[in-house]
Structure 1
């Protein structure tokens, strides 16, 4: 699946697709958004303002990653969640 194909499965909004492709391009061969490892996907998604995975998957994955329940309101401070994630997980 190409990045363009992936984006069109997520949305039909041209501006959103362009933003998603811009984010994807900086990862080159690291296509974490296609990973079977939910923790890996969420670790990288926490570093991005543009969503590349569905929120439901993201939310559940962040809870797995952080090993605790995460309230929706906590996603307002993604940087704080990412700092916590760095202490618990190393994708490489």
Structure 2
């Protein structure tokens, strides 16, 4: 699946697609948004302001990654969640 195909599967809004593609370009061959490892996916997503995965996946995966329940309001401070995630997960 290409990045463009992935974006189109998520939204039809061209502005959102452009933002998503810009974020994706930063990662080169690291297509973490396609990963089957939800912890890996969430670790990288917590570093981005543009959502590349479904929010429900992000919330459940972040709970698995952190080993605790994560309230929706906590996603207002992604940096804090990412700092916690760095202590729990070390990507390849």
Instruction: Give the shorter-chain TM-score range.
Output: over 0.9
Q: Structure 1: where are the runs of 5+ without partners?
A: none
TM superposition outliers: structure 1 runs of 4+ over 6 Å = none
Does residue 50 of the first structure (1) align with residue 44 of the second (2)? Answer: no
Q: Structure 2: where are the runs of 5+ without partners?
A: none
Corresponding residue for residue 41 of structure 2 = 41
**How far apart in 1 are the matches of 2:46 and 2:53?**
11
- Tell me the TM-score normalised to structure 1 length: 0.99
Aligned length: 92
Pairwise CA RMSD: 0.3
Correspondence list, 1:1-92, <5 A: 1-92=1-92
- TM-superposed CA distance for 1:74, in Å, is 0.3
